[in-house]
Structure 1
Amino acid sequence: METSERARLDTYFGKIARQFTPAERPASLLVTHLLPERPSFVRAVATLSELRAVLPKPKSIDTSARREIEQTIPCDELSRDLFNDEDTAVTYLETRAAGEDVVLLDVGGYFAPSLSALCDRFSGRILGVVEDTENGHQRYAEYAKLSCPVVSVARSPLKDPEDFLVGQSVVFSAEALMRGRGDILPGRPALVIGFGKLGSSIARLLHAKGVQVTVYDIDPVRRAQALSQGFAVAQDRDRAIRRAGLVLCATGALALRGEDFPQLRNGAYVATVTSSEDELELDGLPDGYARAHSGDSVTRYSTTGHYFYLMNNGNAVNFLHGASVGPFIFLVQAEILAGVRVLARGDLDPGMHEVPAEDRAAIAATWLNYYNR
């Protein structure tokens, strides 16, 4: 990032932080993709709250960004195991923010498994969670009774531009890996599993590239939407898997089970928009499959009479090429900051919540002043 661009970004987040600084600053823990531009956002979080630690998503860490952040804020290792075990989770939080009011800033529902224990056993008070992603939203929403408020920005209109551009970047990366092996998109029928904002973006771009696209979604409303937009909609999911030469998983949940992989057409490529632990049940793959390197970030899985290719080990394929969505990501990050102020007030009931519409409008107006030039 050029010096002038970094200066503009710092100024933008400075203004956002002034708009949404709470009356009393809580402590916070931040889960984030640690990409090159991310230190500006991290500094804004530290302005609105007492940021006790950054937990970078392990497969998206820029070394320079981490070094920059570690000069002032601890960076801890993040894993699902850290918060899957309630005792471990409580112990960790006690080491970082004992006795404090804390806001948890999440990307992917990491805190969800231990949230009840954190609310009950932590020596301080959990004010709530701000969640950024659809798969994280689903992880929290599946609990019949939450122990604290969860402010989700995953379905915000401010996230629409990011989701659209992420879908485009997924197709770009998938095509780049295929071309690296001498394969191309045209002539290879594609199956998009999940027709939310990311899946619909992927399907549209594939169609624009001349690819025959079939869509599958568990939600009949989304299947009807896909059909209205001119896409073939699979009535038989298993048959669609068997016919596809490229399978793109965009559910935010489990797209392919272990028993699905043997049904893949020989030579099919599989790619996802999020981490393998969310979209793919690779541990359920039947015995007998061997793994072999087969080009840049492509793994060949094979057994007698069957083989398929997995891109980026099943993790978000677009992160191989930077996953950049330009300045539109700063809209979502600003809404996360607004979520900190919402939770710091301490007046929300446990359950799922959104940032108020007037806060979104203020964010969009500020962003346009800086990035609509």
Structure 2
Amino acid sequence: MRPADRFFNEVLLTAPPAAAVTSVLVAHLLPSQPPFLDALRRVSSLAAVIPKPRSVHRTVFEQARAFAPVDTMTREDLAGEQGLVDYLERRAAGLPVVLLDVGGYFSPGLKTACEAFSGQVLGVVEDTENGLRRYAAHDKLPCPVYSVARSPLKEAEDRLVGESIVFSAEALVRELGEVLPGRRACVIGYGKVGSSIARTVRARGLPVTVVERDPVRLAHALSAGFSAADRPQSVLPGADLVFCATGSRCLAASDLAGLSDGAFVATATSADDELDLSGINDLFTHRPIARHISRYERGGRHFHLLNDGHAPNFLHGSALGPAIHLVQAEILVALGRLATTAHAPGLCEVPHGIRCAIADLWVHTFHPSTHPHPLLKEMS
């Protein structure tokens, strides 16, 4: 039995039973997913899987189809007032449902779904900071929304995500015969992923300037020894390698006109989350010059956009190792809690003691030589 399967077996033995609940899952269909999908269908009736569009491994896609219907959809497909209701009626009519989200897919239609769906939306579990912001922007949430985005169990994953983004960006740069050393880097956003990117780029020997508007994070960047500024416009002219890691459209097309000649731009999420590219065709001419690299030109100057502005790490599988299973286990526990316990509408988090127990099981499974302590608290 694979270590991941043993780990999820232990989690399911101690997690609240989900009873008769249906789930709908948004997911990156990458090699780390099958053990989680298998565990998920053991605690819920998996009605459908919605793959994130730029992170689909063909073999995993076929494996997912053996678990449940796989519906190729975008956030926009569910964004209309009736979009989510119609989808739930098609896949889970009349059933109690927990929505497992990555990126706020269900946020626009959640209120209508809670009011008009023939079944019952028990709640949402959101995996990302970007998605959490979408739910937090509701004036009043119509159901409970569990956030694992800011869980301490996710910190290991976020660190590895930052490293994988730098790895993939460098792989693309090298396709043009270029290298990272010798470049001046700018990292916009010093959250968990952005700080990991900054540390990884500095470890490659590049000078790094961090751009961060939040004063606490700006202080953290400065105390970690980075040059820092509170707005990108003052930094971009001197940067020839830019990573955008805010999830909130940190650069507009007009900002890109201020880049250093020949700069490379990469993001940590999707293009529509990080970049406002409206009007870019009025400012630049562009053409693909290599697979997943486009060159934008204006007035004899140019910059390169990696992977059309989408996170490049998924081009190389975004391998995160066993750390990804920590967050997946917390998602399963949150699902069980929504299925078995009445919750008031609003944002929720899995209690600290349960997170400690998940971590203890993970250490025991993947690093048994560390002699972990007994479970700190039963997951109930």
Q: State the TM-score, normalizing by the size of structure 1.
A: 0.95
Go from structure 1 to structure 2 and tell me whether the alpha carbon gap of 1:236 and 1:149 turns closer, same or farther (over 3 Å shift).
closer
1:347 CA displacement: 2.0
Letter in 2 for 1:219: D
Task: Say if 1:191 and 1:241, in contact at 8 Å, map to a contact too.
Answer: yes
1:8 CA displacement: 2.5
Q: Does 1:304 align with 2:304?
A: no
Q: State the TM-score, normalizing by the size of structure 2.
A: 0.93
User: 2:29: which partner in 1?
Assistant: 34
For the residue of structure 1 that corresponds to 2:255, the secondary structure is: helix
Alignment of 1:68-79 (within 5 A): 68-79=63-74
Task: Say if 1:127 and 1:346, in contact at 8 Å, map to a contact too.
Answer: no
Q: Does 1:263 align with 2:258?
A: yes
For the residue of structure 2 that corresponds to 1:135, the secondary structure is: helix
Q: Does 1:324 align with 2:316?
A: no
How far, CA to CA, are the matches of 1:15 and 1:32 in structure 2? Answer: 23
1:162 CA displacement: 0.6
1:288 CA displacement: 4.5
User: 2:157: which partner in 1?
Assistant: 162
Task: Say if 1:21 and 1:48, in contact at 8 Å, map to a contact too.
Answer: no
Number of residues of Structure 1 aligned to a counterpart in Structure 2:
368
Task: Say if 1:101 and 1:124, in contact at 8 Å, map to a contact too.
Answer: yes
Alignment of 1:86-165 (within 5 A): 86-165=81-160
How far, CA to CA, are the matches of 1:249 and 1:325 in structure 2? Answer: 20
Go from structure 1 to structure 2 and tell me whether the alpha carbon gap of 1:366 and 1:211 turns closer, same or farther (over 3 Å shift).
same
Specify which of 230, 239, 249 is matched with residue 244 of structure 1: 239
- Which has the higher mean CA deviation after the structures are superposed, 20-29 or 44-53? 20-29
For the residue of structure 2 that corresponds to 1:146, the secondary structure is: coil
Deviation readout 1:89-144 (Å, 9 max, x if unpaired): 21111011111111000001111111111111111111111000111111111222
For the residue of structure 2 that corresponds to 1:71, the secondary structure is: helix
How far, CA to CA, are the matches of 1:350 and 1:21 in structure 2? Answer: 20
For the residue of structure 2 that corresponds to 1:86, the secondary structure is: coil
Deviation readout 1:293-323 (Å, 9 max, x if unpaired): 2223211112333311011111111111110
Structure 1 gaps, min length 5:
none
For the residue of structure 2 that corresponds to 1:129, the secondary structure is: strand
How far, CA to CA, are the matches of 2:212 and 2:340 in structure 1? Answer: 38
Task: Say if 2:262 and 2:302, in contact at 8 Å, map to a contact too.
Answer: yes
1:290 CA displacement: 2.2
Task: Say if 2:41 and 2:67, in contact at 8 Å, map to a contact too.
Answer: no
Task: Say if 1:107 and 1:132, in contact at 8 Å, map to a contact too.
Answer: yes
How far, CA to CA, are the matches of 2:75 and 2:251 in structure 1? Answer: 20
Specify which of 164, 170, 178 is matched with residue 175 of structure 1: 170
Deviation readout 1:196-227 (Å, 9 max, x if unpaired): 01111111111122111111112111101101
- Which has the higher mean CA deviation after the structures are superposed, 262-271 or 284-293? 284-293
- Which has the higher mean CA deviation after the structures are superposed, 96-105 or 343-352? 343-352
- Which has the higher mean CA deviation after the structures are superposed, 320-329 or 181-190? 181-190
Q: Does 1:313 align with 2:308?
A: yes
How far, CA to CA, are the matches of 1:42 and 1:235 in structure 2? Answer: 41
Q: Does 1:191 align with 2:180?
A: no
Letter in 2 for 1:106: D
1:37 CA displacement: 2.9
Go from structure 1 to structure 2 and tell me whether the alpha carbon gap of 1:247 and 1:71 turns closer, same or farther (over 3 Å shift).
same
Identity of aligned residues (%): 49
1:364 CA displacement: 0.8
Structure 1 stretches (4+) deviating beyond 3 angstroms?
Answer: none
Go from structure 1 to structure 2 and tell me whether the alpha carbon gap of 1:57 and 1:23 turns closer, same or farther (over 3 Å shift).
closer
For the residue of structure 1 that corresponds to 2:213, the secondary structure is: coil
Letter in 2 for 1:60: S
Task: Say if 2:18 and 2:43, in contact at 8 Å, map to a contact too.
Answer: no
1:18 CA displacement: 2.5
Letter in 2 for 1:111: F
Q: Does 1:24 align with 2:19?
A: yes
Task: Say if 1:301 and 1:309, in contact at 8 Å, map to a contact too.
Answer: yes
Task: Say if 1:20 and 1:48, in contact at 8 Å, map to a contact too.
Answer: no
For the residue of structure 1 that corresponds to 2:216, the secondary structure is: helix
How far, CA to CA, are the matches of 2:165 and 2:37 in structure 1? Answer: 25
User: 2:350: which partner in 1?
Assistant: 355
For the residue of structure 2 that corresponds to 1:74, the secondary structure is: coil
For the residue of structure 2 that corresponds to 1:186, the secondary structure is: coil
Deviation readout 1:127-175 (Å, 9 max, x if unpaired): 1110001111111112221111110001111011111111111111111
Structure 2 gaps, min length 5:
369-380
